[in-house]
Amino acid sequence: MPIATRYEPVVRSKKGAFHGAALVGTHSVILGWNVSKAQLPPNLLGFAVRRTQFDVTTGEVDRIGWLNGLKRFADTSGDLGDEVRSDQAPFQRFRWNDYTVNANNSYRYEVFPMVGKPGDLERRPPLLFDVRPSETVENGIGIYANRGVTAAMAYLKRFGGRHPDEVTDGSAYRWLERGLKRAIIEFIDDARKGEALHVCIYEFEEDEIAGALHAAKLRGVSVQIVYHAKKNDKATRENEAYLKKHKLVSVATARVNVGNISHNKFIVRLSKAGNPIKLWTASANFSENAFYFQTNVGLFLEDNRLARHYEEYFQLLRTDPKRGRKKQGSVFARDAVEAINAGIDTSKLAPVTRVLYSPVRDLHVVDAATELIARAESAVFMSAPFGVGKEIVAAIGANSNDILEYGLANASAKKKIENLRHRNTRFFPPSRLKTYMGRKWDAKAFGAHKIHAKTLVIDPWGKNPAVLIGSANFSEPSCQDNDENTLLVEGDRRFSSIVASEFLRMYDHYKIRFWINDMEAKGDESPMFLDDKPGWSDIYYRKSNRSRKFRDREVFAGLK
């Protein structure tokens, strides 16, 4: 069987009644599979996944191995909490994720139904998925996502209890930023003498980024910076300290008259002729927290028309306009921004179908989010750092019960999402799992750990997926008070698959920690073992059950 040599965002597979789908990103593959209950093999105790890694150039096998889990049968040997091969302790669920892939390799996943009894399992014929991950940049669009968490077993295994700055070779920092920071530095370093870099930034607190901009200035790049400078503000003091330290004060404009915060994080690159040609944007500030300790996304877009619109917005903010209240007129930020938004011809910006700058007088970002939620056919995946407003809660509540609605919000927004855990709706806050199964589980939560990516994805397996992504939180202030930028990307299956797979990486990470911590808070500290009877799968076929597992099984296998 030939290996996958090119990227496909959704790879489907079928073998008789056994079928499924793989959602493929840059670093992550989300495998889902399904079979009707009537056709489940007798004595099914779960599924094992074998991964074969190929050199994509030669087609030769690099390595073969089983994906591992952390749950085992109660009467099998081994230490609790140690990873165990899935052919020995099969996954008792209908999906599994692999977060260790890259575009230099091709991968074959074989999903085997495992039957029999613990310690004496047999494989049934597998479902096969051949995938190749995406390059980070394809067709002028680059999507970068950091790991964004030290409070993880993966960090603990690699670096122990050490702070990243105690790992002297820098490998901890590189592992955490996973190319996000490097991509911004490369974007800056690529600018040549006579070109220009126009920066809008909320938190300008990172030496390497500031140093790269200073170096660009010295080699003849015209650098201009608009920075958040609200009076008596901690971020303002930090920004001005770094601007002074790196001799950038002369090219910086203070954004003082902002209604709340000047929250943008974008860079426009202009040619020697002064034409906007490339854009960097999304959720990552220029700070240690943003690159290493928060979940963040960065976008590289080589599109001169989109860059031109961002340049128009930059030039407006550079005049430091007042937000405006009841008065109308182009001198006020809200009115001028509304005019820029209205003048964007998105028919030429595909796959971008809307560009939403703030501040404006309506709730354009919130409205765009509720419209996407309402039109979802199978799934809504939402990273909403500071919670969701009543409009979005209402949109989630109005959806069909067949729609999976999975979300993350920070601990500061726990009350806003505590009612969003019922049926097929599951929103969770980040939490650390210090110990579990009698052993240390996560490393320390160094830094300001939080969800910071602002993303909404619908229907990544479908024909018309959509992503809302940018600097804006899904809130009224992000629409009416802050400087913000958000993009709506529709119909781009690569874009939606990458953003969704990175969301699901963090969602599954924090979901299990939430439930374990919740159980322990209620006094249940018993370890979770695999079920040694085939009844483990019953909940996945019980549609009337309050669990979301029935619909999870269908959606992750690629069904509407």
Number of domains observed in the structure of the chain: 3
Q: Which amino acid is at 5?
A: T
Which domain CATH number covers 127?
2.60.40.10
The 10s digit of each residue's pLDDT in 197-208 is 999 999 999 999
Confirm whether 516 is domain-assigned.
yes
- The residue written with tokens 């996954």 in the block is 91
Q: Which of 362-371, 404-413, 439-448 has the lowest mean pLDDT?
A: 439-448
Using the 3D structure, point to which of 322, 348, 374 is the last residue of a domain. 348
Confirm whether 502 is domain-assigned.
yes
Using the 3D structure, point to which of 109, 134, 159 is the last residue of a domain. 134
pLDDT at position 154 over 70: yes
Percent of the chain with pLDDT over 70: 98
Same domain, 241 and 317: yes
Q: Specify which residues 295 forms β-bridges with.
A: 451
Cα torsion angle, 421, 426, 428, 433, sign: positive
Confirm whether 5 is domain-assigned.
no
Confirm whether 359 is domain-assigned.
no
Q: Which amino acid is at 48?
A: A
Same domain, 102 and 149: no
pLDDT at residue 217 in the model = 98
Confirm whether 356 is domain-assigned.
no
pLDDT at position 526 over 80: no
Confirm whether 214 is domain-assigned.
yes
Helices 364-375 & 390-398, crossing angle to 10 degrees? 10
Token digits for 34?
Answer: 């399904």
Token digits for 471?
Answer: 């600097």
Same domain, 401 and 298: no
Same domain, 112 and 192: no
Token digits for 441?
Answer: 């589980």
The 10s digit of each residue's pLDDT in 229-273 is 999 899 999 999 999 999 999 999 999 999 999 999 999 999 999
Buried b (16+ CB within 10 A) or exposed e, 107-124: bbbbbbbbbeebeebebe
Give the helix, strand, coil percentages of the chain, each rounded to 5.
30, 30, 40
pLDDT at residue 527 in the model = 78
DSSP 496-557: HHHHHHHHHHHHHHHHHHHHHHHHHHTT--PPP-B-SSGGGGGGGG-TTSSSSHHHHHHHHT
Q: Which domain holds residue 259?
A: 138-348
Cα torsion angle, 170, 173, 175, 178, sign: negative
CA 251 to chain centre: 33
| Those residues with Cβ within 8 angstroms of residue 168's Cβ, 6 or more apart along the chain or in another chain | none
Same domain, 128 and 15: yes
Same domain, 379 and 319: no
C-alpha to C-alpha distance for 228 and 336, rounded to whole angstroms: 19
Confirm whether 509 is domain-assigned.
yes
3-state secondary structure 260-307: CCECCEEEEEECCCCCEEEEEEECCCEEHHHHHHEECEEEEECCHHHH
C-alpha to C-alpha distance for 200 and 197, rounded to whole angstroms: 10
The 10s digit of each residue's pLDDT in 477-503 is 999 999 999 999 999 999 999 999 999
Which domain CATH number covers 518?
3.30.870.10
Same domain, 82 and 159: no
| Those residues with Cβ within 8 angstroms of residue 20's Cβ, 6 or more apart along the chain or in another chain | 12, 13, 14, 31, 32, 33, 34, 111, 127, 129, 556, 557, 558
C-alpha to C-alpha distance for 323 and 402, rounded to whole angstroms: 42
The 10s digit of each residue's pLDDT in 140-153 is 999 999 998 999 99
Confirm whether 231 is domain-assigned.
yes
3-state secondary structure 103-167: CCEEEEEEEEEEEEECCEEEECCCEEEEECCCCCEECCEEEEECCCCCCCHHHHHHHCCCCHHHC
